[in-house]
Structure 1
Amino acid sequence: MRGSIVGIEDGLINAKHDSWHGILLELIDNLYASFIVGPLVVAYWRGTWNLMADYIYPSDYPTSLMISLVLGLVGHFMAHIFQNSLRRYLNADRHRLLFYFGSRLYTEIYGTICVNSWRGGWEMINLYTTHDVLYVVLITLGCVLLLALLKGLRNVTGSPFVVVNDSRREYFDVPTYFKISGSKEPALYVLDCLFSVLVIGSLVVFVWRGLWVLLDLKLFPEDRGLSAWSSVFIGYGVTGVTFSLQPLMRWACDRLDGIWRVVVADLFLFFSFIGTINVWRGVWALLDHYFLPDNRLMSDWITHSVSLLLLILLNCSNSVLVRGVYIDAEEPAGQCVVFPVYYVRLFFQKERNKKQRRLLEALGRVEYNNVTSVLLDKKPLKAEQNHQINRNREAVPLTIVDNPKTNGEHNTHENLP
């Protein structure tokens, strides 16, 4: 889920991890991602998933799934193809209001597309395959191995380990596996999009579905409420351990190169995925079990609409999108195991950048006044006394560069969906 995008507009975060201030901000971001963004994203997906079942041929289940799958695949492909056009016509620098409303409409439409693609593929696997434990384990492990060989295992990552801020510059970006340019090689770009959606995307769905089904089969299957609470505790327990291990894993990957760095990063990411899948399954099942169980349609509409609205107001609605393909350990050194959950740190970074710009502007005005004063107060040269000169000549100001770049910890693909 857009695992390498941090959604930072004014430079990447360069926090000092050994300072108490940096550690505190990182902890707040981790808690925010785990207990606010994560549950809201799950609630949105749960409500949207169930609404698709309610309104897309509810009387004909196979047809409903086929329509969802086609809508999802075609929608993903269109999002890849038209991302440059969307970026050009919904430009925040030229039409701020048009960008804001158009981009949020894009999130709602593309979010529905993402849910449909997963619902169609997931439920068709359930419909036409067995739930035998050995079969599910073998298929899931096979898909995990294929993703690892393709260096695409990081694409199983999702909330609460990803927070995608609604960045103006990266809002519509959908990276592909081979990173081919659509303007230079359109035919190859189409093939790249198809591979990204049909191969990488399908493998990710198989992995998610496999581990979810295993939990359904083995984690208190006779008691749905207990099973849901167990997933929540397991999920948040693994999530807490994963976030705590980040400094150690960053240190290890700093000292590894080549295939070993990829292997260590993949093992760590898969461990985080165990926490992710349990959080999603637990929150989803708790909503099914406790939130308006006697009025399922109302429950679905509330979780869909309220969750999306809150995420829009929090400026991280793009976290609901499952889009783009990212390569394992493509960031340098230990940055490949740092989860993009920047929110509070992003706020402080923007405030720091504003102070820097104001300081540079103030220094620029002082320098400008000094230069002007020197030019106006200097005595005229002897040659100037013999000629009529313009007494109101302009002083040449000093050019001030007011766009400092902050060296950050992440290399973005981009964007991040």
Structure 2
Amino acid sequence: MSQSKISALLKLLSVFDVLFSALIVAPCVIIFWRGIWDLMAVYIYPEDLILSTIVSTIFGICGRMLSALCQTQLEDSFHPKMGKISWYLASRVYTIVMGVVVINSWRGPWELLTLLTGEDNLMVHAVSFFGGLMLLMMAKSVRNTNSTPCEIVTDSDVDNYFKIVTRFKTYVSGRVSFFILDCIFSVVIVGTLVVFIWRGLWIMVDIFLFPDDPEASAHGSLILGYSIIAVLFIMQPIVRNVCNKLSGAARLLFADLFIIVCLVGTINVWRGIWMCLDIYFLPDNKVLSCWITLTVSLVLLILLGCSNSLLVRGVYIDAEEPDGKCVVLPCYYLRIIFQAEKLKKINKKMQMYEKPEKLDNIENNHIVTISGIVDEDDCGGIDNRANSDILKGLDVP
């Protein structure tokens, strides 16, 4: 297959990836979050909101800290070598448990802030949003506010399934005290700031977007959110080219502004879907509504191999990738499958050179930067770490 055909195919796959993320993965993730979030209010001290939020906060933050601190032990204990079925069950149980943990780590601080400040004080929400953004910009961590539909996290990277990247990328094999402090900063400081930013913007939309008409507000959020996301994906090549020409502080600021616009679209999509479920799906039986929706969404995400999209974990640095890729929205699904199949064929043809490319080099955008993931501008879709001289001599369909 020629380079032009490969490029055209990758562009088509990228369109399908965006639609898949926006119309399937994103609704499933939001539905699951809404189900767990509302069920926590039912099952965790429903008569005492203060105690309920405190329990959620402690459970969520301690659970995320424990998963970060024990990631090496989890990687050593659970691996496909233990048997495919055992590995599959263990990894998906981990994802479900961590999903509950992560959602509680958001629900706790969110509801505590509501108890302390209420929901009608616009100034408080503006400070929560803009103040949190300023602090994250200083920490070069704004990109951690991003979520589906602007990204997909697949379950395919088995070697890094339990890996959680911390802000300063320290390792337990080094100074243990530094690693613990890094985990605390990543989970408590960065994680809580992200919650404050989301809550601040979410409630500001509540205040300004048809506050007296929930249905119009929900529909307005959906239209606004998906419109912003669509424009961002269409403009992505232009934005990437502009970012590629910038350097230093200008490049960092440009990347942060792009992520902030993504955040506005993302929060409106989340808010719109969440409110539509509250309004239209079994509004008189909230518990049944939550159980049905979260079960269906979870099963679908597991079957599609995208259940890791449920989790919020790891801290990533702004504008870290080269060549403008820091503004590429990592929605990779069909392209990862395409890359895997292509690498298998390349491995067979490269055996004569005794330099086979390992399939485990396929990168999961949740674990590593996206600089090596396939797109239409990178070596016709081949992982750019492959030997380009050898690839030029191969006609790989």
TM-score normalised by the chain length of structure 2: 0.88
Q: Find 2:151's aligned residue among 162, 171, 186.
A: 162
Give 1:172-251 correspondences, 5 Å limit.
172-251=162-241
Name the counterpart of 2:346: 356
Give 1:97-108 correspondences, 5 Å limit.
97-108=85-96
Cα distance, 1:410–1:163 mapped onto 2, change above 3 Å: closer
Partner Cα separation in structure 2 for residue 407 and residue 247 of structure 1: 25
Partner Cα separation in structure 2 for residue 61 and residue 410 of structure 1: 38
**C-alpha distance after superposition, 1:307-330 (max 9, x if no partner):** 111100000100000111111011
Q: Find 2:247's aligned residue among 235, 246, 257.
A: 257
Over the residues paired in the alignment, what is the CA RMSD in angstroms? 2.2
Whether 2:327 is the aligned partner of 1:337: answer: yes
Is residue 153–residue 364 contact of structure 2 (8 Å, CA) maintained in 1? no
Partner Cα separation in structure 2 for residue 350 and residue 311 of structure 1: 20
Deviation at residue 410 of structure 1 after TM alignment = 9.4
Whether 2:77 is the aligned partner of 1:77: answer: no
**C-alpha distance after superposition, 1:40-74 (max 9, x if no partner):** 00000000101111111111111111000000010
Is residue 161–residue 276 contact of structure 1 (8 Å, CA) maintained in 2? yes
Matched residue type, 1:207: I
Partner Cα separation in structure 2 for residue 230 and residue 306 of structure 1: 26
Cα distance, 1:187–1:407 mapped onto 2, change above 3 Å: closer
Q: Which has the higher contact order (CA 8 A, sep 6+)?
A: 1
Matched residue type, 1:259: A
Deviation at residue 402 of structure 1 after TM alignment = 2.5
Aligned residue pairs: how many? 366
Deviation at residue 239 of structure 1 after TM alignment = 0.4
Cα distance, 1:16–1:158 mapped onto 2, change above 3 Å: farther
Is residue 143–residue 203 contact of structure 1 (8 Å, CA) maintained in 2? yes
Whether 2:80 is the aligned partner of 1:60: answer: no
Partner Cα separation in structure 2 for residue 104 and residue 163 of structure 1: 17
Deviation at residue 81 of structure 1 after TM alignment = 0.6
Partner Cα separation in structure 1 for residue 276 and residue 4 of structure 2: 38
**C-alpha distance after superposition, 1:385-417 (max 9, x if no partner):** xxxxxxxxxxxxxx733326899999875389x
Cα distance, 1:145–1:359 mapped onto 2, change above 3 Å: same
Is residue 170–residue 415 contact of structure 1 (8 Å, CA) maintained in 2? no
**C-alpha distance after superposition, 1:74-112 (max 9, x if no partner):** 000001011111111111134322211100000000000
Cα distance, 1:77–1:17 mapped onto 2, change above 3 Å: farther
Name the counterpart of 2:385: none
Cα distance, 1:117–1:50 mapped onto 2, change above 3 Å: same
Matched residue type, 2:286: R
Name the counterpart of 1:11: none
Cα distance, 1:406–1:122 mapped onto 2, change above 3 Å: closer
Q: Find 2:74's aligned residue among 71, 86, 102.
A: 86
Matched residue type, 2:354: I
Secondary structure of the residue aligned to 2:161 is coil
Deviation at residue 25 of structure 1 after TM alignment = 1.0
Rg larger in 1 or in 2?
1
Partner Cα separation in structure 1 for residue 365 and residue 58 of structure 2: 34
Deviation at residue 245 of structure 1 after TM alignment = 1.3
Partner Cα separation in structure 2 for residue 157 and residue 50 of structure 1: 22
Is residue 143–residue 318 contact of structure 2 (8 Å, CA) maintained in 1? yes
Secondary structure of the residue aligned to 1:241 is helix
Partner Cα separation in structure 1 for residue 179 and residue 311 of structure 2: 21
Is residue 72–residue 115 contact of structure 1 (8 Å, CA) maintained in 2? yes
Q: Find 1:135's aligned residue among 124, 133, 138.
A: 124
Partner Cα separation in structure 1 for residue 317 and residue 215 of structure 2: 37
Is residue 238–residue 272 contact of structure 1 (8 Å, CA) maintained in 2? yes
Q: Percent of aligned pairs with the same residue?
A: 43
Partner Cα separation in structure 1 for residue 4 and residue 82 of structure 2: 36
Whether 2:15 is the aligned partner of 1:27: answer: yes
Partner Cα separation in structure 2 for residue 402 and residue 409 of structure 1: 17
Partner Cα separation in structure 2 for residue 18 and residue 359 of structure 1: 18
Is residue 153–residue 366 contact of structure 2 (8 Å, CA) maintained in 1? no
Is residue 37–residue 159 contact of structure 1 (8 Å, CA) maintained in 2? yes
Deviation at residue 294 of structure 1 after TM alignment = 1.7
Cα distance, 1:94–1:409 mapped onto 2, change above 3 Å: closer
Name the counterpart of 1:377: none
Structure 1 alignment gaps of length 5 or more: 1-14, 365-398
Name the counterpart of 1:10: none
